[in-house]
């Protein structure tokens, strides 16, 4: 989805040609799984951070084209809206100081962004949903000037037969609105984690990420407000699911229909069977690049998504992308979330009796939405067959499991202590980004500009959110 395209208009012949190439690449992928063609490299982590461009008054600033020209950095790229950008860093082996290197690389990119922002009177802000974003600002005039976004918008509306996209979220308050384009998606920004996995264990890693989605979204919640309404602790979840709803029985933003049984190939087959092509491009690449398959996969936004890439020597590899985390509040918060996820994933995969055999997928799904709605106050069914409050589950079980997983990954002990101490303190205090935002509104009223500016100033200190005062 990151590539630009030659045209935003498609004919029936384009869809037919794309379908044939997709089928061919699916057959090739099945051969690769059967032959064990995938890289055996593992424990390589990566990240993507979506962020907001915000003016001095806390309002979104639609200047990403100018910003990107000034930055002139291939690691900083546009997002759907002109007030969003995406920051990328090179992947790192997680052993030793790998997680710290990811944090430091992201910090360096953020510093470059801050310098460019100073020149333009803008702040680059990491927050799941910007409190000051309005329904009116999410309009085609604020769509980034790239044909791929125009094509995405056109195709989603075509599949909906011109019917508006209805947003209906019931949380602490109730939000109901209709929208005639996909710009609602731009209101949700994420901190996405990748981990490269060996093919013989890839299903276990994807299933582990699925199970962990509930505690991860609760621990990291940072998106309680949309269009002035206080909704879910992580309102990004229902927002994104509804924002690109094409009106078919299978949503393109999804928790998935079940665990992977044998190989990640099942997900790609399911994508083809359940989701019509949105961007039927004729890509001039050899079939061995799986370009059409990877493009189609990029238009099905599973909360835990399999990815195919290539090692530096050209060997294909598999990655698991964990998409449930919001952006922000600070670098150390995000790095701690990253370490917590990588450690827990490793531990669940090491479990001799696979957790997915003990926790039904339907329960993992119910856990996820409960945790997105209620945060650390949610109650979830766990694979130990007990029912837990999420905060107590983290404190009594998951922190120790994450530590052991990070030790297996051979992460430096000092880094393990530093990152998990942030998670421990955040959960003990209940001071997530979402809780801070709600607390600010309770104390100071619903002045969303004041809220956003206070968040911006505190985020700039680099102090983790559990240290923030309201």
For residue 435, pLDDT over 50 is answered with yes
For residue 368, pLDDT over 60 is answered with yes
Q: How confident is the model at residue 193 (pLDDT cuts 50, 70, 90)?
A: very high
For residue 10, pLDDT over 80 is answered with yes
Token pair belonging to 437: 């935002």
Does the residue 316 lie in any domain? yes
What pLDDT, on a 0 to 100 scale, did the predictor assign at position 245? 85
Domain that holds residue 222: 12-464
Does the residue 56 lie in any domain? yes
Does the residue 2 lie in any domain? no
What pLDDT, on a 0 to 100 scale, did the predictor assign at position 8? 62
Does the residue 196 lie in any domain? yes
The number of distinct structural domains making up the chain is: 1
Does the residue 1 lie in any domain? no
For residue 463, pLDDT over 70 is answered with yes
For residue 381, pLDDT over 70 is answered with yes
Tell me what the mean pLDDT of segment 112-116 comes to: 97
Q: How confident is the model at residue 7 (pLDDT cuts 50, 70, 90)?
A: low
Does the residue 7 lie in any domain? no
Q: How confident is the model at residue 3 (pLDDT cuts 50, 70, 90)?
A: low
Q: How confident is the model at residue 1 (pLDDT cuts 50, 70, 90)?
A: very low
For residue 139, pLDDT over 70 is answered with yes
Provide the whole-model pTM: 0.96
The CATH number given to whatever domain includes residue 71 is 3.30.590.20
CA distance 439 to 437: 5
What pLDDT, on a 0 to 100 scale, did the predictor assign at position 217? 98
pLDDT digits (tens, 9 = 90+) for 61-93: 999 999 999 999 999 999 999 999 999 999 999
Does the residue 288 lie in any domain? yes
CB-based contacts of 314, cutoff 8 Å, min separation 6: none
Tell me what the mean pLDDT of segment 375-394 comes to: 98
Does the residue 6 lie in any domain? no
Cα distances (angstroms) measured from residue 381 to each of 22, 129, 340: 38, 28, 20
């Amino acid at each position: 989805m990151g590539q630009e395209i030659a045209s935003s208009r498609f004919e029936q012949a384009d869809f037919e040609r794309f379908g044939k190439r997709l089928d061919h690449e699916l057959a090739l992928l099945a051969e690769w799984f059967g032959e064990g063609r995938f890289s055996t490299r593992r424990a390589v982590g990566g990240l993507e951070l979506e962020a907001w461009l915000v003016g001095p008054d806390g309002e979104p600033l639609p200047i990403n084209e100018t910003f990107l020209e000034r930055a002139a950095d291939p690691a900083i790229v546009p997002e759907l809206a002109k007030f969003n950008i995406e920051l990328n860093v090179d992947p790192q082996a997680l052993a030793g100081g790998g997680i710290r290197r990811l944090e430091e690389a992201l910090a360096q990119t953020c510093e470059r962004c801050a310098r460019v922002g100073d020149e333009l009177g803008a702040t680059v802000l990491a927050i799941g949903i910007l409190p000051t974003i309005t329904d009116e600002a999410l309009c085609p005039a604020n769509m980034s000037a790239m044909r791929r976004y125009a094509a995405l918008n056109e195709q989603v509306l075509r599949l909906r037969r011109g019917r508006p996209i209805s947003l209906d979220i019931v949380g602490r308050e109730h939000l109901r609105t209709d929208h005639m384009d996909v710009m609602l998606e731009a209101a949700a920004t994420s901190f996405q984690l990748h981990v490269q996995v060996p093919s013989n264990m890839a299903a276990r890693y994807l299933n582990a990420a699925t199970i962990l989605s509930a505690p991860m979204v609760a621990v990291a919640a940072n998106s309680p407000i949309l269009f002035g309404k206080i909704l879910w602790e992580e309102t990004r979840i229902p927002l994104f699911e509804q924002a690109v709803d094409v009106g078919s029985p299978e949503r393109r933003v999804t928790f998935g229909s079940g665990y992977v049984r044998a190989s990640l190939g099942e997900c790609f087959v399911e994508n083809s069977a359940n989701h019509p092509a949105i961007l039927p491009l004729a890509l001039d690449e050899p079939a061995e690049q799986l370009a059409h398959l990877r493009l189609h996969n990029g238009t099905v936004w599973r909360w835990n998504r399999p990815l195919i890439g290539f090692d530096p020597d050209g060997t294909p590899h598999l990655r698991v992308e964990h998409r449930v985390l919001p952006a922000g509040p600070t670098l150390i918060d995000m790095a701690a979330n990253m370490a917590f996820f990588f450690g827990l994933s490793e531990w669940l995969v090491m479990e001799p009796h696979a957790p997915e055999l003990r926790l039904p997928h339907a329960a993992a799904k119910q856990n996820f939405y409960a945790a997105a709605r209620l945060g650390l106050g949610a109650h979830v069914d766990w694979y130990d067959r007990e029912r837990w409050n999420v905060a107590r589950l983290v404190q009594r079980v998951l922190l120790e499991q994450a530590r052991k997983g990070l030790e297996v990954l051979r992460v430096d002990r000092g880094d393990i202590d530093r990152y998990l101490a942030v998670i421990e303190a955040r959960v003990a205090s209940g001071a997530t980004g979402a809780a801070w935002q709600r607390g600010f509104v309770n104390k100071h009223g619903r002045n969303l500009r004041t809220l956003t500016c206070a968040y911006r100033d505190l985020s700039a200190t680099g102090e983790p959110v559990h240290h923030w005062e309201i």
